Amino acid sequence: MKPQHYKTVVIGGGIVGAGIFRDLALHGVDTLLIEKKDFSSQTSERSSKMLHGGIRYLENLDFALVFEALHEKNLWLKLTPHLAQEVPFYLPVFKDAKRPLWMIRLGMFLYDFLSSFENSPHQIKSAQDVHALIPDLKTSGLAGAGVYYDGIMDDAKITLEVIYDALKENCAHAMTYTEVTTVTKVHDKNIIHCKNVLTGKVFTVTCDQVVYALGPFTDRFLNSIPMYNWQNVLLPSKGSHLWISNKDLPLKYPIVITTNDDRVIFVIPHGDQILVGTTEVAFNGDYFDVKPSEAEIDYLLSALNDYFPKLGLSHNHILSSFAGIRPLVKENGDGNRGKTSREHKIFQPMSDTYVIAGGKYTTFRVMGQDITREICHKFGRSYNQDISKQILRQRSVLLPFDWKVPTKEELIRICETEGPQTFLDLVVRRLSIPSRKIWELRAAGVDFNQYFMTNLNDLKKYLVISEEDIKNFI
């Protein structure tokens, strides 16, 4: 804890809250970031791990969103090349497809145009070329493929590095494992009532301005604060993903699958693993630490086996799975989540309170600029919308495209500089290991239990960790 009064408190430590936190910090505004669990531990680490313009949003005529997202995508490819890479995405087209090859070509040209031709240029491949590059793809009725370029990324690490960069400023402070239990007002001060979920300690901080960047938790939390008289704004959408070894699904390039119900599924190589997702279903359960349902897993496997019939993929081939809740903002219409815009919206239930909802991961930097600009002006500070384009100043110790088993010295350096509080914070987000099967794939020959037991005493100085935590990691 630093001082108990702040100019601004940002509640929510996902990518949107992180972007607003950094923007305020770079402008010298005294700001505290509060997160109930670990930073980026919910929706912001459960994406399809793409920096992209959203080529499928062209059909919804969301040209402004695609334009903005493409330019932000290309900015972050330059700012974080250690966390994001541009790769070709193959979109196979079959003779009975709803969108023939000429339409795909037109859409890809428009996509490149909206990027101001900063994208690597699209291509059209013949069926023979596609078969040579992707030999396991079904060939019956294959007409060819369109190829366009987007970015793949480590979503958790980008969020974390944005926060690390903000904390380089003396005016920036951040707390994980801090639950906001309620918010009240006394005169012109907001009182944030908090509880440390690891220790049980209860405390309060006060602030002049409050920003809520709660993602899918927006409606549920704000409905618990009577003074806001909040009306629900979200259409929550659950998206599930699978990790499969590239030995079982050999693939060099990302593939875009179109399902029989006209959904889009991405199949994306990330080193020795293949990411498959996503679904898009309504969900009303607990939003924390969501798991895929059996029906969603079966849906993804069915789509894979339709496109790769020779591989016979089953539950036994799944290394790990995860799910998250998209905070889509309601629109007038039929409630079709696939067609709902990914535009963000800002609400102001009080003059000193801002709520941001919706949006896309890729556009996080610009989503909150209307909020940060207004807050800066309230405190008599000029606002520079380009200041957040500067390079991030602290890299993660372990990088996704150059992964290796960290040494004891590197583990300690992660604990000292990257802020993990629990064993899962360290393993899942700092080491990028969501399951034992993925550890066994990536750290071949290094026993998980033995590795962490050997380092247990050193790690206990920094983390809430026990032998049971290690043994129970799935």
- Domain assignment of residue 51, yes or no: no
- Domain assignment of residue 60, yes or no: no
- The verdict on 148 and 167 lying in the same domain is no
Contacts of 40 (CB under 8 A, 6+ apart): 13, 14, 15, 18, 155, 156, 159, 160, 429
Instruction: Please report which confidence band the pLDDT of residue 402 belongs to, taking 50, 70 and 90 as the band edges.
Output: confident
First CA to last CA distance, the chain: 34
Q: What is the pLDDT of residue 330?
A: 84
Instruction: Please report which confidence band the pLDDT of residue 339 belongs to, taking 50, 70 and 90 as the band edges.
Output: low
Give the domain-ending residue among 389, 410, 425.
Answer: 389
The CATH number of whichever domain residue 17 belongs to comes to 3.50.50.60
What is d(CA 328, CA 339) in angstroms, rounded to the nearest whole number?
A: 10
Query: Is pTM beyond 0.85 here?
Result: yes
- Domain assignment of residue 58, yes or no: no
Q: Which of 133-137, 201-205, 259-263, 383-387 has the lowest mean pLDDT?
A: 259-263
Is the CB of residue 379 less than 8 Å from the CB of residue 7? yes
**Which residue range(s) make up the domain with 359?**
5-44+156-233+339-389
- The verdict on 427 and 286 lying in the same domain is no
Is the CB of residue 268 less than 8 Å from the CB of residue 151? no
Share of the chain above pLDDT 90, in %: 89
- Domain assignment of residue 9, yes or no: yes
Is the CB of residue 368 less than 8 Å from the CB of residue 356? yes
pLDDT at 334 over 50: no
Whole-number average pLDDT of the chain:
94
- The verdict on 144 and 255 lying in the same domain is yes
- The verdict on 37 and 122 lying in the same domain is no
Q: What is the pLDDT of residue 332?
A: 60
User: What are 346-371's pLDDT values in tens digits?
Assistant: 999 999 999 999 999 999 999 999 99
Q: Token pair 């009182």 is at which residue?
A: 191
- The verdict on 147 and 265 lying in the same domain is yes
Rounded to 5°, the CA angle 229-371-420 comes to 90
- The verdict on 345 and 458 lying in the same domain is no
Is the CB of residue 147 less than 8 Å from the CB of residue 254? no
- The verdict on 117 and 166 lying in the same domain is no
User: What are 31-43's pLDDT values in tens digits?
Assistant: 999 999 999 999 9
- Domain assignment of residue 67, yes or no: no
Q: Which of 50-54, 311-315, 342-346, 364-368 has the lowest mean pLDDT?
A: 342-346
- Domain assignment of residue 163, yes or no: yes
Is the CB of residue 41 less than 8 Å from the CB of residue 184? no
Element (H, E) at 195: strand 189-196
pLDDT at 390 over 70: yes
User: What are 56-80's pLDDT values in tens digits?
Assistant: 889 888 899 999 999 999 999 999 9
Contacts of 350 (CB under 8 A, 6+ apart): 227, 228
pLDDT at 379 over 80: yes
Q: Could you tell me which residues are beta bridge partners of residue 273?
A: 245, 270
What is d(CA 62, CA 359) in angstroms, rounded to the nearest whole number?
A: 12
- The verdict on 253 and 325 lying in the same domain is yes
- The verdict on 362 and 426 lying in the same domain is no
pLDDT at 112 over 50: yes
Element (H, E) at 120: none
- Domain assignment of residue 273, yes or no: yes
- The verdict on 206 and 351 lying in the same domain is yes
Alpha carbon of 473 to those of 140, 205, 353, 466, 469: distances in Å? 43, 35, 40, 11, 6
Q: What is the pLDDT of residue 342?
A: 72
3-state SS, residue 202 = strand
3-state SS, residue 318 = strand
Segment 382-402 shows an average pLDDT of: 96
Is the CB of residue 417 less than 8 Å from the CB of residue 462? no
pLDDT at 338 over 70: no
Contacts of 230 (CB under 8 A, 6+ apart): 219, 222, 223, 349
Tokens of 159: 């969020």
Give the domain-ending residue among 329, 348, 368.
Answer: 329
DSSP 8-state code for residue 363: G
Residue 40 amino acid letter: S
- Domain assignment of residue 66, yes or no: no
The CATH number of whichever domain residue 88 belongs to comes to 3.30.9.10
Give the domain-ending residue among 329, 347, 368.
Answer: 329
DSSP string over 204-220: EEEEEEEEE--GGGHHH
pLDDT at 11 over 80: yes
Overall number of domains in the chain: 3
CB 193: neighbour CB atoms within 10 A?
Answer: 14
- The verdict on 459 and 420 lying in the same domain is yes
- The verdict on 239 and 316 lying in the same domain is yes
